[in-house]
Structure 1
Amino acid sequence: MKFMNLGSRELASHYVAVELFKTIQFNGDPLLGLATGGTMEEMYEQLSSLINHHHTDISRLETFNLDEYFNIDANDPNSYRSYMKQQFFDKVGLTEAQYHLPDNDSVDVEADNMHYEAMIRQKGPFDIQLLGIGINGHIGFNEPGTPFDSQTRIVELTEETIEANARFFERKEDVPVQAVSMGIETIKYSNRIIMLALGKKKAPIMAKLYHMTESDIQVPASSLLDHPHVEVIMDAEAAHLIDFNSYK
């Protein structure tokens, strides 16, 4: 696991955008695992600009998103489908056939989750899986205590995660309490993983993860310690509690 402090939010976002762009531009059939959240907004803005400025052919690009709130309407402005369309898909002209999010309705839930997992296994591994990280170390909606062999499924959100996501909703009571999420095993089915962490709220978990040498089920992100190609990209605020001169 390689940790990099790139100083500013802009530079950290730019680095990730460029790495995704290079994969889209130079891989014959690029397959990306994508993430949502405030952390990703500037990165998607830069990635969209790169694609459009260079008139990049994205006709063979295919994407799978980490997660989606359970039982939220696809057209709800707070759904992750709406987020992705607004932040990236519609900006670059990605068609509905090219992007996938977990099916989040209450009909045939188990079958839908198995189908999503099977599609990833058939088309994968991902060239790059993009990740954020929660203040409790969650990746996707895999909360502390999630088995490392977990696959796509419905999950219960912790109060901590609900609180963190409340800023996107008018009222805290409107925040969904369940989601459909790729599992940890699913996330790791990737040739390369890039985690983006921004802001001082992420500093404690970044410092904790940096100093971990063994995985801990209570820190889901630590499941990535045995993956051969993981980059953790931070701004100065997220990195400020890390002593990079200490033994790692």
Structure 2
Amino acid sequence: MEVVILPSSKEIGALAADAIEALVRRKPNAVLGLATGSSPLPIYDELARRHDEDGLSFAEAHGFALDEYVGLPLGHYESYREVIRREFTNRVDIKPENVHGPDGTAGDILGACAAYEAAIKAAGGVDLQILGVGTDGHIGFNEPGSSLASRTRIKTLLEQTRQDNARFFSSINDVPHHVVTQGLGTIMDAKHVVLVATGVGKAAAVRDFVEGPVAAICAASVLQLHPHATILVDEAAASELKLADYYRHTYTNKPAWQGI
């Protein structure tokens, strides 16, 4: 696990975009794992800018969303399928048919989850997975207590998660109680994971999953076992890390050719 501490979300977005651009230029049909929420927005903004100004193309790429609410109708403004379209895929040249998400409207949720796992595998697996992290350490919607080997499945949201997401809805009463999410085992299959966290509100979660034990109570801690996990945080999110100075020293002195 590499921890990189940067001054702001702008620098974080640019560094993550560097990794994605290098991947897509090297492998035009790359498979990207797409996350929603506020953390990835600077990444998507920078990729859209590079598409518009530098000709960065996603025409052959594929995208797989991390998760989706259960029960929201197709086309609902806050469904994650629509959020990803607005934030990223409609701003670049990726083909709509190459963008996939879990089906939260399926009559057979279990069957839809199995089909989603099969679709990721058929695409060759995720090359680079973008992640945020919840205040309780969840990634995707793998809430505390999730199996570290879990696959795509239905989950019940913690009340804290519903409260955190209520800002996107008219009221907390409109936030669904259930979601479909890639499991921790699914996420761990990605070849490269890039997790972004900013703000003091994420500091405790960052401390716990980076420097705490690997445990189901903090789902993101499973990333300690990933062979290529990059954690991009600002100073506020890094404020509770014991080894912050070491992480800064390591990144400052790494070879320029190494990338992230």
Shared fold, TM over 0.5: yes
Q: Structure 2 CA distance, aligned partners of 1:150 and 1:175?
A: 24
- 1:81: Cα distance to partner? 1.2
* Structure 2 residue 185 is the aligned partner of structure 1 residue 185: yes
More moved, 145-154 vs 25-34: 25-34
The answer as to 2:160 corresponding to 1:160 is yes
1:63-90 CA distance string (max 9 Å, x none): 1010011111231111111111111111
SS of structure 1 residue aligned to 2:201: helix
Q: Hey, what does 1:219 align to over in structure 2?
A: 218
Structure 1 residues 72 and 227, CA, compared in 2 at 3 Å: closer, same or farther?
Answer: same
What is the RMSD computed on CA atoms of the aligned residues?
1.5
Residue 122 (structure 2) pairs with residue 110 (structure 1) = no
Residues in 1 aligned to 2:124 and 2:187: alpha-carbon distance in whole angstroms: 11
Contact 2:9–2:198 (CA under 8 A) maintained in structure 1: yes
- Give the drift of 1:246: 7.4
Partners of 1:165 and 1:101 lie apart in 2 by 19
Distance 1:197 1:230 in 2: 13
> Residue 112 of structure 1: CA displacement?
0.9
Structure 1: which 5+ residue stretches go unaligned? none
Aligned to 2:254: none
Q: Runs ≥4 in structure 1, deviation > 4 angstroms?
A: 245-248
Aligned AA (2:35): A
CA contact (8 A) 2:202 2:237 kept: yes
What secondary structure, in the 3-state scheme, does the structure 1 residue paired with 2:236 have?
helix
Partner deviation per Cα, 1:104-144 (whole Å, 9 max, x = no partner): 11412111110001111222331111111001110100001
Name the TM-score, length of structure 2 as normaliser: 0.91
Q: Is the 8 A contact 1:133 1:197 kept in 2?
A: yes
The 1:74–1:18 alpha-carbon spacing in structure 2 relative to 1, beyond 3 Å, is farther
Question: Could you say which residue in structure 2 is the equivalent of 1:196?
Answer: 196
Counterparts of 1:1-248 in structure 2 under 5 Å?
Answer: 1-212=1-212, 214-244=213-243
Please tell me whether the aligned partners of residues 124 and 189 of structure 1 are also in contact (alpha carbons under 8 angstroms). Answer: no
Deviations 1:9-36 (A, max 9, x none): 2111211122112212221421111100
Rounded to whole Å, the distance in 1 between the matches of 2:145 and 2:108 is: 26
SS at match of 2:39: helix
Instruction: Provide closer, same or farther for how the CA distance between residues 97 and 208 of structure 1 changes in structure 2, counting only shifts above 3 A.
Output: same
Q: Is the 8 A contact 2:12 2:42 kept in 1?
A: no
The alpha-carbon distance between structure 1 residues 245 and 204, as it changes in their structure 2 partners (threshold 3 A), is: closer
Percentage of matched positions with identical amino acids? 32
Separation in 2, partners of 1:166, 1:9:
23
Q: Under a length normalisation based on structure 1, what TM-score does the superposition of the two structures give?
A: 0.95
SS state of the match for residue 96, structure 2?
Answer: coil
Between the aligned partners of 2:186 and 2:36, the Cα distance in structure 1 is 17
Stretches of structure 2 lacking an aligned partner (at least 5 in a row): 248-260
The 1:245/1:127 distance shift into structure 2, 3 A limit, reads closer
Paired with 1:81 and 1:234, the residues of 2 have a C-alpha distance of 26
